[in-house]
Structure 1
Amino acid sequence: MWGGAIAANQAEGAFTADGKKPNTSDVQPYLKGLSNQEIQEIEKEGMTLKQVREHLDDTSHYYPKRHGIDFYHTYEADLELLAEMGFKTFRTSIDWSRIFPNGDEREPNEEALSHYGRMIDKIISLDMEPIITMLHYETPIGITLHYGGWQNKQVIDMFARYGKVLLDRFGGQVKYWIVINQINMIQIEPFLSLALCSDQFENQEEAEYQAVHNQMVASAKIKEYAKELPFDLEIGTMVADGTTYPYSCKPDDVVLAMRHNRMQYFFTDVQFNGVYPKYALNYFAENKLTIEMTAEEKKIAKRKYVGLSRDFLLFLANGR
């Protein structure tokens, strides 16, 4: 398949349209004059609860993700241009904060579902294969403010409910699904990836690994549900390329790079095989990180949600 990809938070704009509420991307201001390296350092540091609340009410900065290219309203013309270029597939995400604006509602927002239905119909009418991401840095900000982000196990069922709604509604039209974008970006973008604030937890690293564990459990529930549906679905994961190369050929440098890379990519081991690799469990023990994994969660993971013969892995280099 030949095509291109965007995310809802990057392109849609329409910040308050049809009942949408803020997500983690909507509270990131444009910081003029900073280098890319400086911006990356800020992302690694994360965002405090105070900053989140300030950004929600801030009128002094520009928030680019709130505006995008107004794809929410111009998608028909934009998609026609992509088809004119010869695209045969188009990947985008559905914004969780449109379907369940606070994240914890029991019933979805029908206006938003209808919008995405029309968008998917348009993609198909242009002879392009839709690839849909369920979560691409669009966790509702209410999950951060009221639940402490993805480290809270209550979020597992909230996200699973959202995923099931999407599959029920669009499973007959969309064959290819990515559950969570770049699930291995937890140390690089903990706020965007996990909706965690940097001042919420005594042990931030432990909270990050707990949060991504909860994401994998939620994804497993969605995959398990998908297998029960009468659709020909292929559901996969996505990891970002963060490969580290040894500083030199000295054994210590080579081993250090290997250990770093293993912890960059163990997420696919869990998702394809249904178990944590021993080296990841060793890392948790060596660093005194307690990750709560219930017996039921281990059973769900072992039944596998990604990695069956018909499933697919997308590997994105240098993605945002």
Structure 2
Amino acid sequence: MTHTPPAEPEPNISSEFPFELHVIDVLDGKIAYIDTGNSLNDDIGITHIFIHGNPTSSYIWRNIIPHVMPKARCITLDLIGMGSSSKPNISYRFHEHAEYLDKFLEKVVPTGKVILVTHDWGSALGFDWAFNNEHRIAGLVFFEFVRPFPTWEDASQGDIQQAFRSFRVEQTGRKLLIDENAFINKVLVDGIARSLSPLYRWPNEVPIEGVPVDVNERLTKSHDWLLQADIPTLLFWADPGWVIRAEKAQWYLNTLRNAKGIFVGKGYHFLQEDHPHRIGTEILDWSQNI
């Protein structure tokens, strides 16, 4: 099932961050997070866990969570090394991010059903956690998500593909990503349809044509599980999109066993910045009916 977007662009996209950040010790670092529940035993609705991607933070969910929190406990975190979370001396590979996320969730929401709301690398981390904790999952929401890409053409096209190819060349990748901060200055800005008033590891963890091998194997397991699971899923996509274009969105809707799809309109990659109110209201409506 697919829904068409509203005719008019969304108004009142706020830059304000209306939440108080908490901090919790996780492994050898500290994770900053938001929790709209009153306690670990708060049983209002199904807990919604929002997981951001690269190179963002919990800030990106600021206009979406207010639509969901009246009916459900909402939790979102800054992944380790990002946002207000600490920056321990680790390599920041996928398996390390996954371990920090797992330990964080063990502490903050140790029991009960959850709905994961995910984007970009947050989706890959969320699918991995869901694969290992299927009994906890009430539903999955995702868009513009990282998955195993069999070819470069499947991963991206045009200038974005060329940029990611450049990131993987040792001689140029570090200069672009660290010295020139290209992912922030170019990819982040170009990934948002509306205007907006150093990082190295994540762009090179994307599993394209089977590389890196360990990340590709791990993401393939969770992706294969996703395609076979009966869990309710909600997929958003936009036009033209970056990694989830129209034909790929339709493929997922035809393949997933229990999926609802919503087309939000114009957008590239960071749909939270272009269509937060539509996404928030649709998540609430869907989650109240699964």
Same fold (TM over 0.5): no
The higher radius of gyration belongs to 1
Higher RCO, Cα 8 Å, sep 6+: 2
TM-score of the pair, normalised by structure 1 = 0.35
Higher helix share: 1
Higher strand share: 2
